[in-house]
Each structure stands twice: as C-alpha cells, then as structure tokens.
Amino acid sequence: MSAIDDFHKLKSNNKQYKIWLACILLVIIMFLIFFKFVEPAPPKHLRLAAGDVEGYYYQVAQKYKEALEKFGIQLEIIETQGSLENRELLTNGKVDLAFIQGGVAESIDEDVATLASVFYEPVFVFSRPEIEIKELRDLKGMKINIGEVNSGSRVLAEKLLFMNGITEKNTSYSFLDNDAMESALMDQEIDAAIIVISVKSNLVHHFISNKGIRPFNFIRAEAYTYQMRSLSHLIIPQGAISLEKNLPKGDYHLLSSIANVCVRENFHPQQAELILKVMQGIHDKKDLITPQDYFPNAEFGDYPMLPAAKHYLEEGPSFLTRYLPYSTAIFIKRTWIILVPALTLLIPFFKFAPMLYRMQLFRKIYLWYEALVMIEWGLEKDLSVEKIQEGLEDLQNIDQEISGMKIPFMYRKEVYNLRVHIELVRSKLEKLQKEVEA
C-alpha cells in the first residue's frame, strides 16, 4: 500500500467521524429546542358542554360553532341537562369548554379556569295569576318547580329558598324542564316556578306577556347580593319590552347570575384568544339589562381566570392576532418560538465560522504535508527504484488533487507554498532515482 493510500484512509476516517459527530450534536440541539420551547399546535377539534337543545346555552353554542368554522375549528356541541353536568364533564376532561352558571362551583381546586363571563342569567319567578307573591318566603308550603336536577337553576333556586326558610321538608319541589314546567303552571299542577335563563330567551318574553302567568318582582334584590357574591341586582325599566303594551307594567327588579365559559387550566392560550375574539362579536351587544360592550369580561367567574384570557380581556389582542389571520398568526408565533433559541445558538457560530473555516482549510493543506512526510519516511525504509517510482506517482496524484481543490483567493498563498514543497520532494526523488539507477 502506498503512502497516498494510507493518507486517504486517514482522511476518510476523520471525515466520517466528523459527519457523525455533527449529526449527533444537531439531533440533540433540535430535541432540546422542541421539547423546551415549542408548545403543541392548537387543536382543530373542540368539545363544548352546552345544555338542552331548546335552551339558550345551546343557541349560543351554535353561534360559536358557526363562527369558529370560519377559522378551521370544528366545535362539537354536547347536549346536557345543565351546569352541574357541564362542570362534571369538564373536570373529568371529557370536554374542552363548558357553560357553567355562576354560583355552582363547589371548589377552586378542580384544574378548571374561567375563560370569560359572557351574559347575565336572571332569576325569574313565575306563579299562577291568582297567587300573589310579595317575597320569596311567601312560597313556603306551595308546589314549586326549581329546574332539572343537574341544572344550575336548581342549585341557585334551592339556595335562594333556603335563605327564606324554605326546604323540601316544608314545601313540595318538582324538577321539570322548561316545556313541562310551562304546561304544569298553566294546568295549575304547580303553584310557581323558578328558572334561571337569559333575558333574550323567547320563554321569558312569552311568560312576561302572558296574562295567565304572574311574574315576581325582586323588591329585596339588593339584599340578596349582600348574601351571595355571585348575584347582581338588575332592573328592566317599565315599558322596556313593549312600549305599546307597557311591558313590564313597572320597573322590574331582578336577581341575576352570570353565565361563564370555563376551560381546563391547560387550555391552549392561542386558541383562547381566538374564542374570546369570537365571543366579542356575539356578546358585545346591548340588551334590556346589559350595556354595550360589557361582555365578555373577567369580573364574575367562580374559578380563577385563565392567564391568557385575563391578559386578552384587560390588554386586548396581541399585535399578530389583531392584524393577521388566525392561522398565519399561529404559524408566526410557533416559528418565532423556534427561531429565538435557534438564533441564540447560531450567533456564536456566525462569530467563529470564519476562524473555523480557516482552521479547517489549513488542516486540509497540512494533511497533504503529512502525505509528503509519509513518502519521505517510506524511502528511508526502502530506497529502491520501485519505491522511488511509487513516491513520484504519489506526488503526481497529490498535485492533481490539490489542483482540484476550491480555495478562496485569500488563502491561495498556502496552496502555492504546498506546491513549492511538492516540487522540492519531487526534485529530491528524481535525484535519488538517478543515483540508484546509476
């Protein structure tokens, strides 16, 4: 084996080692970047626990679904019996979002967060026309419907009645849905009904305008708000529903809970921004009891606010979310998260790259010097005509390989010096060849 063959073997092994080392380092760096800095992309499919198909929660959920479809998000609406079932589904991780009525949270350690409070849910009390109720305590001993078992209406109704000394021990409770409750009230099967529902609901307008049903006026509404933090005192002004019919006949005092949209604490922050943007387009309208642009807000949640939602509601959308399409904003945010650590790693590389390149180039050149030394060492061991001829052929091959190297102009000096030394070794070999042949 010639000296040049030994040199190529050494060079090949060295190059292979460097390639493997570079690949291993690159893989390690990329894994560190992705696992430490990059969060998962927002999901394209979400599940929302709403309520009864005929209820107002479900109507609002349909609006969310239609709006989110424009951004490529599929919202699956889950029919439930109400807030209690919604809360259970959310805490068990079976849905991503849930409508939960204010005041039904049992604790704040359930890994649940409030995304936003979205609309008022007043407490309406209706009775048969012949029954006059001045205060809730007047309902003691009567037949009262307080809503379905798993509904927020039932929870809040029981609390209000209990504050007035009314329980199942002294009063008959029923747990009918709204349709069955209306029929029972009209057929005099029950004396009164307590429902918690949006003022925008058709059922409310129907009951208030129905002469066969008497609405209850919460004249002590302010007192209840001192007893329960989750309640607000609202007023529907006289004639606000219909000036022509003068409905209501006088100022109508209401107690109101709040409908909150809740999520898990690990809900994706970028998706939270999108949903809040959708909510603003749906809930910012003025109505009988709500000022313009009042909802959504971060004021009434039973659970702690999701940090991303709190920031959005207090500071507004981020620059990217405000001016760019949702998918583009998500792409830029995720790319930026990757680029920041990547650039941090690359800055030192760019700083030392010229020096490293120069060292690598000089190393290549000096490896050829090693080849020259190997040729001379070979002749010291075997000074034969064949060995000298082999050395001359190696020098010719080295010269040809050097001629094929792409060397920047500023480093050509080193190449020329190498070729000068090749010629010196060639001259030496040719002189030795003549001497041996002589």
Q: Which residues pair with 119 in a beta bridge?
A: 259
* Count of other CB atoms within 10 angstroms of residue 174: 15
Q: Are 178 and 203 in contact (CB under 8 A)?
A: yes
More confident residue, 306 or 345: 306
Q: Can you give the C-alpha Rg of the chain in angstroms? A: 41
Q: How confident is the model at residue 338 (pLDDT cuts 50, 70, 90)?
A: low
Q: How far apart are CA 259 and CA 119, in angstroms?
A: 5
DSSP 141: T
Round the average pLDDT of the chain to a whole number and report it.
82
pLDDT of residue 10: 46
DSSP 257: E
Residues of the chain with CATH 3.40.190.10: 45-317
Could you read off the pLDDT of 69-109 as tens digits, one per residue? 998 899 999 999 889 999 999 999 999 999 999 888 766 65
Nearest C-alpha neighbor of 4 from the set 373, 361, 365: 373
Q: How far apart are CA 113 and CA 158, in angstroms?
A: 25
Q: Are 232 and 256 in contact (CB under 8 A)?
A: yes
Q: Are 326 and 274 in contact (CB under 8 A)?
A: yes
Max Cα-Cα span within the chain: 142
Instruction: Evaluate if residue 168 carries a pLDDT over 70.
Output: yes
Instruction: Evaluate if residue 31 carries a pLDDT over 90.
Output: no
Q: How confident is the model at residue 334 (pLDDT cuts 50, 70, 90)?
A: low
Q: Where are the beta strands (DSSP E) in 132-278?
A: 143-145, 172-174, 192-196, 214-215, 232-236, 252-264
pLDDT of residue 329: 63
Could you read off the pLDDT of 394-435 as tens digits, one per residue? 788 877 877 777 777 777 777 788 788 888 878 887 887 787
- Between the CA of residue 306 and those of 46, 274, 310, what are the distances in Å? 17, 14, 6
pLDDT of residue 158: 93
Q: Average pLDDT of 179-200?
A: 89
Q: How far apart are CA 231 and CA 250, in angstroms?
A: 22
pLDDT of residue 365: 76
Nearest C-alpha neighbor of 306 from the set 350, 261, 346, 363: 261
Nearest C-alpha neighbor of 148 from the set 124, 172, 174: 174
In this structure, which amino acid lies at residue 30?
M
- In three-state secondary structure terms, 324 is coil
Residues in contact with 23: Cβ distance below 8 Å, sequence separation at least 6, in sequence order: none
Could you read off the pLDDT of 371-385 as tens digits, one per residue? 778 877 777 777 777
pLDDT of residue 322: 67
More confident residue, 150 or 93: 93
Q: Are 187 and 212 in contact (CB under 8 A)?
A: no
CA dihedral over 207, 209, 214, 220, signed as positive or negative = positive
Nearest C-alpha neighbor of 196 from the set 156, 140, 252: 156
pLDDT of residue 351: 67
Q: Which residues pair with 288 in a beta bridge?
A: none
Instruction: Evaluate if residue 18 carries a pLDDT over 70.
Output: no
The DSSP code sequence of 364-405 is HHHHHHHHHHHHHHHHHH---HHHHHHHHHHHHHHHHHHHT-
Residues in contact with 352: Cβ distance below 8 Å, sequence separation at least 6, in sequence order: none
pLDDT of residue 13: 44
pLDDT of residue 355: 72
Q: How confident is the model at residue 212 (pLDDT cuts 50, 70, 90)?
A: confident
pLDDT of residue 20: 47
What is this structure's pTM?
Answer: 0.68
* CATH 3.40.190.10 for domain 45-317: yes
pLDDT of residue 339: 65
